[in-house]
Structure 1
């Protein structure tokens, strides 16, 4: 059934990507709304996350349509397995983007303008792995652009705190997507695809740990700037413990455990969000 294949192409059966995109968006909405974000804005952004993550998966598979058949983990994806045509994939991508843009039209002019940049980042990211070892940075920018958009929609401006949160999200994305890339490193080397996992090589665990430490420090600094109370810092402490657990998982670079460490970042994002919410609701 075609609708089922479209759902698989959009990765609706694997919501981890939606969650990893959703948590920093919620961080931004709650901070910008000082604990009480506008209901319409929140609804639009949650739906936008689902739509744009789905669109990102579609354009990613379209970009990798000649690569995925050669990678064990991806060869059964709808485009790679020829269960969806290239034309169908492009039409689906455009439809998802148009629906997302129609939602953004409910927001202010600044948010609408930023959405164009976000769409360009989302469309460009899948092609970056051919030209740079830092596609994870582009992914972080694409995933994280909802942060300045959330501040713009909620407050009509983009304060410096929004860009600090944006940087935090980019660094965090490099962390979890490097863990994901370690799983595919051998296949990527064979087919010539670039990633931070390949660039970091044997220093991957040390660099990922260093980035995790920087993310935690910046999150602590964020709390200080916002004058957050102890519940926020409990959330950050839990996030730090999760980062340590991820390091334990990847100690032997076993593919399954590296993937588990990647998935564990959902809980990292949730811990930060619960800390933010805890500050405002106590």
Structure 2
């Protein structure tokens, strides 16, 4: 791996241009740790939430499915939080290693640790493996089927950074990787995969296509110049029509997941309460569409970030259904 010399555009205070202002990493992290935390995107928690929420959806629907909550589920819940932070960090580190030449050519990303020269690609690779090993220690506390799924999840994680080089649909690969937790956590609770988990996984992929297309509109001009593909570039002025399709797919597939999860053992009231989750999530996504402006990068970033709330909405209803 070739290391990059410091970029003349790298900020002296070691901040990253597209990180939120006054984030905790810039304010409180030791200088030596700061670039590694920036590689892991610890300065912007939205990605961890987007990886974590499908895990918690899967756990809630698995409990709704078999009506058998147990103390082990509390560890699964907490372990998902730690694992999501670590694996999101490892995935982002891998993404920055593979994209370091592209990032050096994009105004929004050239201040990141590798293209700015504050971390070498070799150092980043070591940091990535540290995060993966720590995440593996959590994974190995689950059942054998869940462990196998966790190991398999590394395949889409490895492939995703390269997808933008060969397909206009890299967001599909991101969705495959980011929503894997719905399958893993369902299996961690029930011991095997089931149709509700697969339907929930499909809903998560559709949701990822929705929010990451919005996110990708920040970089369409730079991406066109350097030859990076994305659904944002592919859809162009037709983005809103495509986002509506992803909205409908998200709501429809999640609704089916709820029905299939609730039918064996849950009450009718529990099913109704759980079904309100995808319905309310759909309205929140529709609200985002009303504010869509693909020519305003700041607005696109704002809409992308509110998807933490979007994903939290069904979780609230799923949790309430367990008490119905």
Q: Same fold (TM over 0.5)?
A: yes
8 Å Cα contact 1:249/1:260 also seen in 2: no
More helix by share: 1
Which residues in structure 2 correspond to 1:1-282 (within 5 Å)? 1-34=31-64, 36=69, 38-225=73-260, 226-227=262-263, 228-251=270-293, 253-282=295-324
**Aligned-pair CA distance for 1:272:** 0.8
Instruction: State the distance in 2 between where 1:86 and 1:200 align.
Output: 33
**Aligned-pair CA distance for 1:107:** 1.4
Instruction: State the distance in 2 between where 1:161 and 1:222 align.
Output: 4
* Residues 161-214 of structure 1: per-residue CA shift (max 9 Å, x gap): 111111111111011000001111111011100111111122111111111122
* Residues 216-271 of structure 1: per-residue CA shift (max 9 Å, x gap): 12223333332544433443333222112111121464211122111121111000
Q: Secondary structure of 1:55's partner?
A: helix
8 Å Cα contact 2:52/2:181 also seen in 1: no
Q: Secondary structure of 2:41's partner?
A: coil
* Residues 73-92 of structure 1: per-residue CA shift (max 9 Å, x gap): 11111111111111110000
TM-score, normalization by structure 2:
0.83
Distance change >3 Å, CA 252–CA 192, structure 1 → 2: closer
Instruction: State the distance in 1 between where 2:216 and 2:85 align.
Output: 23
Instruction: State the distance in 2 between where 1:206 and 1:166 align.
Output: 22
8 Å Cα contact 2:218/2:300 also seen in 1: yes
Instruction: State the distance in 1 between where 2:196 and 2:312 align.
Output: 20
Instruction: State the distance in 2 between where 1:251 and 1:237 align.
Output: 24
**Aligned-pair CA distance for 1:39:** 1.8
* Residues 80-108 of structure 1: per-residue CA shift (max 9 Å, x gap): 11111111100001111111112211112
**Aligned-pair CA distance for 1:33:** 2.5
Instruction: State the distance in 1 between where 2:294 and 2:215 align.
Output: 15
Deviates more, 1:214-223 or 1:113-122: 214-223
Structure 2 residue ranges without an equivalent (≥5): 1-30, 264-269
TM-score, normalization by structure 1:
0.95
Instruction: State the distance in 1 between where 2:272 and 2:118 align.
Output: 52
Q: Secondary structure of 1:189's partner?
A: helix
Instruction: State the distance in 1 between where 2:255 and 2:248 align.
Output: 11
User: How many residue pairs were aligned?
Assistant: 282
